[in-house]
Structures are given as C-alpha cells and as structure tokens.
Structure 1
C-alpha cells in the first residue's frame, strides 16, 4: 500500500506530479492501494483552495486514489496522544532555544536543553532524544543507507514552538494508522527516513519499505519546487505531460504513446514499470527532454 502526501501550498507542478505518478505506478503494479493524504498541518503556509486544486489535478491526469482523502488537520488528537505517550516515557524534552541562538549554533543541535525534564510556561518546542547508534535501511533505489541520528542530525523537533506537530511525527503516525507499507517519494526526503525509522522503533511500529526517486532539476540544478517558482502543470496537456514524466522516470515509453488517451498511457506505464532504471540516480533534468 502506497501513498502520496502533498502540502496544500499551491497547485501541483511538474516535480510534484512526477512523484505522484511514480508512487501511483508502484502501488498499482504491486496490486496495492494508493492513498491520498493532504499534509495541511503547517497552517501558516497553506493556500486557500490549494487542496481542491490538487485533487482536481490528480483526477485530470487519471491518478485516482483509493478511499477517502486523509487530511492531517482532522487527526490532531492522534498526534497529541502520541506526543503524550513519548513524554510519559521520557523520550522528549522541552526546548526553549530561540532562533537567534540556534542561528549562531552548530548545524547539528548541540543539546542545550537536553537536561530539562519539566514543561515550562515559556514557549517551547519538544525534541526527541536521539541515541548514538547507526540507523540502517536499504532503499529500493539508493541502496544501503546508514545514518547516526545523534551525530548527523541531533535531537529533532516533533512539536514546534507554535504548537504545530512536526512533519516527522505526523508522517509516522499517519503511515501506521493508514497501514502504509511502501513509501515512494523524492530524494530530498532521504534524510527524513532515518528519523522516521527511529520514531517507528520508539513507538513499536513496523518499519516500512522506502524508495527515493530522483528529483527533477532546472537549468541551474535546483529542484523544481514552489520556492523556485515552478509552474503549475497544465491539465489540458495531460497526455503529453504524462509521456514526458515517464521519460524522466526512464521508462522509455514508445513514441506512439505520446498522443494516446490517458488511460492507455497509464495502463502501459503500470505494465512496464521498471524501477531498476532509476537505481543510484539522484537528479534528472527536465531540459534534456523538452
């Protein structure tokens, strides 16, 4: 069972649709369900109407999800219960460090507040205590990965100072609640995996299988994203866009598929989905295929 979890900060661009397509094809080839989750916890960044735009875009490209759309904002109680569970087990501690202090600190959080145990009225985030051990996993495309959370990431935040649940915790809770077994996402989220595996271990959840696909980059080598002002995909060009995405995914679609109906393109793509063509690849350039 796979899932796609976009943030409602704007319409889907080529890079986000690329990830959605890879996730969809992988789930369908494995005869699994493909779930749609809207990552709308970071309310200051949410754009009004963006969730509906995302849903409409996926449908216009023939990427139909299974079951109801899962909105993270509707599951705050579950996240808070998980935070409370970790607090009761003394896995978390309050951090009152200011942005200015952290801006002048080493890249890895040095544990200024690690000795704190009692919550305070001072605004604070909650950090999870990381252990000085290696977390290892085998990514379907990137091979064996080993990271030491304590030395490479430090104690990371699971609840922000503004009260918003952090991505790492919410993602782990949701994947467990939705019984997700395979995660297909961009290479830029590879560093999140060790943190999520660590939380899965703390919470007694089963580990998942991960596949981090390469990122689409522009002529400067920057990832296509809303921050780099990537243009929204044109749903009126669904067929040619799907053909382009399959090419970027190194699936080598036959030329006559370019102008085929959406259903025919997706049917071919599911049948011929070959992830090994992306092995050890971190980026692809859209300019090479335009």
Structure 2
C-alpha cells in the first residue's frame, strides 16, 4: 500500500517555527517511505482566517523546498461532503441535535452527559449536532510515544460534530478528508494528541481501516507557551530559509555536520529524507527550542 501523509495548516496566519516543525516531520516521514505528501488548507473557521494567509503558506512551503503531490484541498470547498455525512447520521440516529450551552456542560462536571440525547430535538437554528458515541476509544498507540490513555469521561462523550454557529467541527472534517485522500499516517504536533481518540472513534463509526499516528514535540516560547499564531509567534523567513530550516531539523533530532549546514536548502532537504528516523525524535512532547542559526 502506498504511504500517504499530509500537512494541514489553518490559514489563521503565516507559518511559524512550530508549523515548520510539523511540516518537516510529516514531509520527511512520507518521502523516506517513498510515499506521497499532500497539503490541505483547513479553512473551517472564517472568523479566524487571515486574508492571503493560505497563499502565503504555500509560498513558504515552496521556499523551503517542501514540494507536495496532487492538488491542494481546501476544506471550505467541502462543506457539502461534511453535511451529507451529518444528514446520514441524523437520519440513522447516530447523531442528534443538542441545545446545551458551554455553561450547562460545565455544570455537568465539564463533560457532556447526554442531556439532549433522547429528546429528538428539531433544529431551531440554535442547536449543535452531537455524535452518539458508540465506539469510545480509551487508549491508542503513537508510533513514537507508545500508548496514550484517554480519560473515560472524554472517550465516552457525545462530542460536537457541527457547532451552534453552523461551523463544521475539526474532528469531523479532518477524518472525512483523511479518508477521502487515502491518508495512511498522520504526523503532527503533540498539541493534537488529545483529539486523536475521538478521531479514531470516527474511523470505527465510519467502518474505515485505522491509520497510524506520530506526534512531534511541541515548540514552546521562552515563557513556556506553545508557539502559535494565537500567541503571536513570528513568521518564518521566506527569503533566507536555511538558518530556520537547520534549527527546525535540529529540533527534530537531526545531527547536521558542517558540510550539510553549508549545503543549499534543496540538498539539506534531500539529506533529511535520506537520514530521517522516527527514533531520532526527542522523547519529550514539549521543548523550548534553542535558535542557534536563525533570528527567531
């Protein structure tokens, strides 16, 4: 079976160091397996989207010589696919409408306890859609970190697949798209470990073969916060990518000698493909990087 990996950024701003780490990890894993590497723009949340960010992300990947296969998929073009799945679940009883607010769920102890499950509500424009959890996943295997446990209350929760504001939930869209694109393994940041159990449960409910997961170390800033667009992480350099590329590869456990560091970006990327090993990844799931080569 052909290996298929993917990088799926949201266009809420330019790529930062943490984004580059995720892109490189997924790229090296796919190319080392002589597989395909896809790019998907996860533009599910228009209020958070920054105008022009999607195009800037693609230009940044090109600057770092991270070439993708096939056409770029935009989730904003796939709403009909997501809705069709929801309609099917609503019809079969696998999903249902829910009027509970966050405040009400908090009063339930922080986990939704099925308050609307048997009410057979009709959507009045003020409802979310929840998935009836028939296949709870209380643990899963990560190829780098081993077994992860999911709190039972979280694993058994009927989680939201379409929000009250009409936006499709991340867990729904990401799984439907990974299945549609034939993704065989997801390599991404450790900040996304938590929803993995729910995503695996969706594979069971959709009667689809399971895929593999590898979660990369999460890059933190000096104050211990996740490097993210929300925390105003600086954009990586398009014009002089090599210093940041070297920093990101060292963050991923590569040991680059002087000769490799003096090579051009394409040569460094090709060397990375040839020398990539999952075992080289740091054991920690959170790391504050030392930027020795870039100005970040």
Which deviations, in whole Å up to 9, do the C-alpha atoms of 1:262-287 show, x marking residues without a partner? Answer: 11100110000011122632012113
- Structural mapping, 1:33-44, within 5 Å: 33-44=36-47
In 2, are the aligned partners of 1:139 and 1:145 still within 8 Å (CA)?
A: yes
Q: What is the distance in 2 between the residues matched to 1:184 and 1:152?
A: 22
Which deviations, in whole Å up to 9, do the C-alpha atoms of 1:138-190 show, x marking residues without a partner? Answer: 21111022335544562211001111110000001000100000100011111
- Structural mapping, 1:61-76, within 5 Å: 61-76=64-79
- Let me know the Cα RMSD of the aligned residues: 1.8
Look up the match of 2:131: 128
Look up the match of 1:142: 145
Look up the match of 2:48: 45
- Structural mapping, 1:1-290, within 5 Å: 1-131=4-134, 133-147=136-150, 150-152=153-155, 154-278=157-281, 280-287=283-290, 289=292
In 1, are the aligned partners of 2:5 and 2:37 still within 8 Å (CA)?
A: yes
SS state of the match for residue 227, structure 2? coil
Q: Structure 1: 5+ residue runs without aligned partners?
A: none
Q: What is the distance in 2 between the residues matched to 1:215 and 1:169?
A: 23
SS state of the match for residue 237, structure 1? coil
Q: What is the distance in 2 between the residues matched to 1:149 and 1:173?
A: 24
Q: Structure 2: 5+ residue runs without aligned partners?
A: none
Further displaced range: 15-24 or 90-99: 90-99
Q: What is the distance in 2 between the residues matched to 1:150 and 1:203?
A: 22
Further displaced range: 16-25 or 119-128: 119-128
Q: What is the distance in 2 between the residues matched to 1:176 and 1:276?
A: 27
Structure 1 residue 193 displacement after superposition: 1.0
Further displaced range: 117-126 or 143-152: 143-152
